[in-house]
Amino acid sequence: MNVRCFTLGAFQVNAYLLEDPVTGQCAVVDTGDGPQLANTLMQLDPRPDLRAILLTHAHFDHAGGLADLQQAFPDAVTWLPELERPLFDTLPRQGSLLFGMPEFDRPCGRIDHELRDGDAIDVGQMRFHFLSTPGHTPGQGCYYDDTYVFVGDTLFAGSIGRTDFPLSDPDLMHASLRRLLALPGLLQVCSGHGPTTTLEQELQRNPFLDFLRRERGMDEPSGWSLPLGRWN
Ligand SMILES: [Zn+2]
């Protein structure tokens, strides 16, 4: 699978273009907040054969460009986590209602399929598994194959998604991180913001995964724990 990352808009969201090298069929993960991704993809030569739009969650910075993308690529089918539907439906007023930023109110676009935990999506010879990871939002999810996991705002290099938004749930976030970090450590983590990492690297070093290291009886990462013993 060929993966290209486009970092878009005021919130520097990462949208990913995934291409099956055998058939040339493509999927995107997330859309950015406006027409920038659609315009960028339309200008690529050759223009990508876009078959699927996979949304990690329905915050406007990730899903607000859906209507523009569907206008440019009307044959692409759009997948949304089932539990994310209520948040998705707020897109026309989400900027105003949830964030006090009416300039980011966006049209909804069209959802063709809703996803449940354990579902799989085939695009060309690519197969993506869907893992439901609510917490940052009610229905956020991750898409993974044998090499990559696209995590939206669940996990970042050195951080995790915020859980202080309306409709966020810190307890669900912990349970979701536990499930996500149970996937193979070699998976390349493609986050909704910031650089790529691996699950193993985050399990070793991410300060927000301390609870997992405790649960697993792992040593604290070097440089993170205070050296209390030296002061006794
Ligand atoms: Zn978000």
The lowest-confidence range among 72-86, 131-145, 208-222 is 208-222
Distance from residue 99's CA to the centre of ligand 1 (Å) = 11
Angstrom distance (rounded) from CA 46 to CA 99:
38
Instruction: Check pLDDT > 60 for residue 162.
Output: yes
pLDDT per residue as tens digits for the range 84-105: 999 999 999 999 999 899 999 9
Q: CB 178: neighbour CB atoms within 10 A?
A: 14
Measure the CA angle with vertex 191, ends 206 and 32; round to 5°.
145
Q: How far is the CA of 59 from the centre of ligand 1 (A)?
A: 5
Percent of the chain at pLDDT > 70 equals: 94
**CA of 229 relative to ligand 1 center, distance in Å:** 40
Residue of higher predicted confidence among 183 and 229:
183
Residue 168: name the closest of 139, 190, 141 by CA. 139
- Calculate how far, in angstroms, residue 63's C-alpha sits from the geometric centre of ligand 1: 9
- Rounded Cα distance between 117 and 199, Å, is 19
Q: Which pLDDT band holds residue 228 (cuts at 50, 70, 90)? A: very low
Output the pLDDT for position 223. 52
Q: What spacing in Å lies between the alpha carbon of 36 and ligand 1's midpoint?
A: 18
156-180 average pLDDT score: 96
For residue 224, the model assigns a pLDDT of 54
The string of pLDDT tens digits covering residues 211-224 is 999 999 997 665 55
Q: Are 115 and 130 in contact (CB under 8 A)?
A: yes
Ligand 1 centre to CA of 220 (Å) is: 29
The model scores a pTM over 0.85: yes
How far is the centre of ligand 1, averaged over its atoms, from the C-alpha of 23 (Å)? 32
Q: Give the per-residue pLDDT at 221.
A: 63
Cα-to-centroid distance, 179 and ligand 1 (Å): 19
Domains of the chain, earliest start first: 2-221 (3.60.15.10)
- DSSP assignment of 14-37: EEEEEE-TTT-EEEEE---SSTHH
